[in-house]
Amino acid sequence: MTKRIVVGVSIVIATIGIIWGLISMKPEPPKKKPFVQAIVVETKTVESEDIQFIVDSQGPVLPVENSTLVTEVSGRVIGISDNFRVGAFVEKGETLFTIDPANYVANVRSAEAALAQAQASYQDAQARTEQARKDWKKIGKGEPSDLALRLPQLKQAEASVQSAEADLMRARRDLERTKVKATFDALIQSKMVGLGQFVNMGSQAATLYGTEYAEVRLPVPDQELAYLRLPDMENPEVQPDVRLLGTYAGQEQNWFGKIVRTEGVVEQTNRLTYLVAQIKDPYNLKAESNNDKPLRFGTFVRAEIAGKQREGLIGLPRQALYFGNSVLILENESEVRIQQVTLARTEANTIYIDSGLKAGDEVIVTPVHNPVNGMKVQKVGSQANSGKANTKDNTLSSNSDTAKQ
């Protein structure tokens, strides 16, 4: 039993020794340096330029003048203009409809008669006063009293004339108001009266939208106001240009106007400041505007407001910005250097750099994850050249192998 154990142990030891010898005799594989794949990047050589900032906004087109036309006299509508219909354009002073004037003509004639009677009474009172003055000079002593000269009767007659003149003016004005007219150049948005309808004083007849000007309320965040020059009490003549973009007949159109004012308050619901853009002759009725197509009320438009102009700025894609205030500069054709910059403005897709870069710097515009100084990268152009070189080497190697064969 003991002999068997000794033999078994000997066999195990011999086996281990043989395995160890074989392992020690195995040649070591050649050591290779680890290969790190360089990140392929695109770059942009920067140049400073003059930039005019553009502030974007949007809003619906509204009329500056929006008025509800009401009747000032009562009566039956006996005539309506062909232009008095929804969607029609009317000029200032154009008669839209006529109310039966018969009663008002009678009122004018009655007022004229009352005025003539009051004037006759006044002339009689003047004659009586003059005669009383002459009689006093003949028989009276001292200064005559007003009653002796019949002056109260004269003043009463004069007041009656003035009252009759006012009644006649009122009657004539009411007669004029039987012709209901447009108070400004307008588009008829709605009408509420028809032929034969009886209307009372103060009845709503139509809603008119003024066509001389249109306006757009444009909401702007507070931080964007820093890039605009806006009209105020000291500089009311400052009116930035604005381009409006919308659709007409299914096609994109441009219209041009000016920022004429701010609403002066911050909207409590959204904390935005509203600017008001004004567009002259939006329907191009007088052919005085630069707009080829009509800008219809209610159209929703995007707005590009011309802002301040800055000199010597550098524009880069937004993705070129790292850590909020840095960009990556390519050095020695393959190394990264992190450069801090001062931003003049940050937009959704573009940043504008005020300082920190100089003309000719190559800035990496491809996103790089976790960049550090000295990181190895490869430009897109140099990668292509490297690929061509590798192809050439492979071709030469292949030709060499063929020659050897």
Whether residue 14 is predicted with pLDDT greater than 70 in this model: the reply is yes
Lowest-confidence segment of 149-163, 293-307, 351-365, 386-400 by average pLDDT: 386-400
**Res 394 pLDDT > 50:** no
Give the H or E element holding residue 130: helix 102-139
Condensed to tens digits (0 to 9), the pLDDT of residues 180-193 reads: 999 999 999 999 99
Q: For the chain, what is the radius of gyration of the CA atoms?
A: 47
Pairing mode, if any, of strands 75-80 and 213-220? unpaired
What is the pLDDT, as a whole number, of residue 137? Answer: 80
Report the pLDDT value the prediction gives residue 39, as an integer from 0 to 100: 84
**Is the Cβ–Cβ distance between 323 and 361 less than 8 Å?**
no
In order of their start, the domains of the chain are 43-48+312-381 (2.40.420.20), 66-100+178-211 (2.40.50.100), 102-176 (1.10.287), 212-309 (2.40.30)
CB 77 within 8 A of CB 197: yes
User: Do 344 and 354 meet the contact criterion of CB atoms below 8 Å apart?
Assistant: yes
3-state secondary structure (DSSP) of residue 380: helix
Lowest mean pLDDT among 56-60, 168-172, 239-243, 367-371: 367-371
Report which of residues 9 and 351 the model is more confident about: 351
CA dihedral of 327, 330, 336, 339, whole degrees rounded to 10: -30
Closest CA to 128 of 148, 143, 145: 148
pLDDT at 35 over 50: yes
Q: What pTM does this model have?
A: 0.71
